[in-house]
Amino acid sequence: MTRKIHIGSVAIGSGSPVSVQSMTKTPTTDIEATVRQITALKEAGCEIIRIAVLNEDAANALGKIKRAVSIPVIADIHFDWKLALMAIANGIDGLRINPGNIGATWKVKELVNACQDKGVPIRIGVNAGSLHKDILKTYGHPTPEAIVESAARHIEILEAMNFNMIKVSLKASNVPATVEAYRAFSRQYDYPLHIGVSEAGPPPGGIIKSAVGLGILLYEGIGDTMRVSLTAEPLEEVRTAWSILKSIGLRKHGIDLISCPTCGRTRIDLINLVKEAEARLRPLKRNITVAIMGCEVNGPGEAKEADVGIAGGNGIGLLFKKGVVIKNVKEAELLDCLVETIEGLSEE
Ligand code: SF4
């Protein structure tokens, strides 16, 4: 079991629900656009937001952004301890900075003191693409062992200053290396882990890489907070993260849609029905299971087990609610009936 830290109001580690993070992709100094993006991400289920801080203007923008949003904010800073101090003064809830990259010990000490005073945890973020030269020389490549050793060095610096509000990430774009690095780290340390497959690429490949890597880790009980990194709109990252968590059964979030692949037995336009249903059901904030099945082979079984289900027939569908057939509906009316039935459920 990992230790517990808090990023603002969100608990991380020690069995807390695995939280979903994302990162803004707007220029941080464009406060309006950044707040708009964070608000949309929160609506989609983002629980913690990370913001890149490139310069003093960006660090100062954090204060206004923080006051305008209702989820915890993490400042992402590389090297510049002064920017980190400014970010803390602007009220951020978490900091991503590697202490070994800051320089003189007194600078690290000043930063650690500020974090300690304000209760701001630090994430040590090791990335296979930016390991120290000497570590790379020892291991030859960014191996899982090299990644863990790099994290260990940063941790040592903070531990020497009695700072332990630490969270760690060990990312690589290579899925097996990522999995092995997190496994090796969690055998040696109990700091909470931020998991992710770095630079996973665009969908659908990036989604698959993330689902495989994070799915393995989460199934093994490794990971306390997660970010899916996609070359795409950040909303995609949040939706993918939730799909992974729901698939493993770790958390519930909105409607879990089960549908069959269709085959030669299908006698309704199931693919379009499911596409339209997905779009109409997405805004409904109900943690229920909905099954949309093509025929009487597996249809009634799945539809019965779901909260609401459809088992298709020849131009018609049987509508199930809580395991019982409530209607025989014409194909053209199936979608409306399904949505009405689900909306009815939310009022019960
Ligand atoms: S549920 Fe029926 S239509 Fe759908 S894939 Fe299975 S056999 Fe085919």
CA atoms within 13 A on the CB side of 24: 33
CA-nearest residue, atom 2 of ligand 1: 295
Instruction: Tell me the CA–centroid distance for residue 286 and ligand 1, in Å.
Output: 26
Tell me the mean pLDDT in the region 182-190.
97
pLDDT on residue 178: 95
pLDDT on residue 297: 82
pLDDT 10s digits, 42-69: 999 999 999 999 999 999 999 999 999 9
Query: Is residue 329's pLDDT more than 60?
Result: yes
Same fold for the pair 5-248 and 256-347: no
Q: Report whether 206 contacts 243 (CB < 8 A).
A: no
299 Cα nearest atom in ligand 1: 1
265 Cα nearest atom in ligand 1: 3
What does CATH list as the number for 5-248?
A: 3.20.20.20
Query: Is residue 135's pLDDT more than 70?
Result: yes
Instruction: Tell me the CA–centroid distance for residue 272 and ligand 1, in Å.
Output: 15
pLDDT on residue 42: 98
Dist CA 230 CA 208 (whole Å): 11
Tell me the mean pLDDT in the region 161-165.
97
Q: Report whether 43 contacts 16 (CB < 8 A).
A: no
If one residue of 267, 273, 297, 314 were mutated to test the ligand 1 pocket, choosing by the most ligand atoms within 8 A of its CB, it would be: 297
266 Cα nearest atom in ligand 1: 3
Query: Is residue 296's pLDDT more than 90?
Result: no
Instruction: Tell me the CA–centroid distance for residue 251 and ligand 1, in Å.
Output: 28
CA-nearest residue, atom 5 of ligand 1: 262
pLDDT on residue 346: 60
302 Cα nearest atom in ligand 1: 1
Tell me the mean pLDDT in the region 93-122.
96
pLDDT band for 132, please (50, 70, 90 cuts): confident
Residues near ligand 1 with C-beta < 6 Å?
A: 260-263, 265-266, 293-295, 297-299
Q: Report whether 312 contacts 270 (CB < 8 A).
A: yes
Tell me the mean pLDDT in the region 105-133.
94
Tell me the mean pLDDT in the region 222-229.
97
DSSP string, 265-304: T--S-HHHHHHHHHHHHTT-----EEEEESSTTTHHHHHH
Instruction: Tell me the CA–centroid distance for residue 274 and ligand 1, in Å.
Output: 14
Q: Report whether 194 contacts 169 (CB < 8 A).
A: yes
Specify the long-range contacts of residues 158-164, CB closer than 8 Å, at least 24 apart.
158/99, 158/112, 158/122, 158/124, 161/108, 161/109, 161/112, 163/112, 163/115, 163/116, 163/122, 164/3, 164/191
Dist CA 4 CA 17 (whole Å): 11
Instruction: Tell me the CA–centroid distance for residue 254 and ligand 1, in Å.
Output: 25
Query: Is residue 172's pLDDT more than 90?
Result: no
Q: Report whether 49 contacts 28 (CB < 8 A).
A: no
Tell me the mean pLDDT in the region 72-77.
98
311 Cα nearest atom in ligand 1: 1
112: closest CA among 128, 88, 134, 76? Answer: 88
Mean pLDDT of the chain: 95
Instruction: Tell me the CA–centroid distance for residue 264 and ligand 1, in Å.
Output: 8
What does CATH list as the number for 256-347?
A: 3.30.413.10
CA-nearest residue, atom 8 of ligand 1: 263
Calculate what percentage of the chain has a pLDDT beyond 70.
99
Tell me the mean pLDDT in the region 131-142.
91
Dist CA 201 CA 229 (whole Å): 8
Instruction: Tell me the CA–centroid distance for residue 299 and ligand 1, in Å.
Output: 7
CA-nearest residue, atom 7 of ligand 1: 297
DSSP code, position 207: H
With H, G, I as helix, E, B as strand and everything else as coil, classify residue 229. Answer: coil
DSSP code, position 154: H
Instruction: Tell me the CA–centroid distance for residue 259 and ligand 1, in Å.
Output: 9
295 Cα nearest atom in ligand 1: 2
Dist CA 342 CA 321 (whole Å): 9
Dist CA 54 CA 75 (whole Å): 10
Torsion angles phi and psi, residue 76, rounded to 5: -105, 110
pLDDT on residue 304: 86
Dist CA 7 CA 152 (whole Å): 22
Q: What are the extents of the domains in the chain? A: 5-248, 256-347
Instruction: Tell me the CA–centroid distance for residue 282 and ligand 1, in Å.
Output: 24
312 Cα nearest atom in ligand 1: 3
Axis crossing angle, helix 205-219 with helix 175-188, rounded to the nearest 10: 20
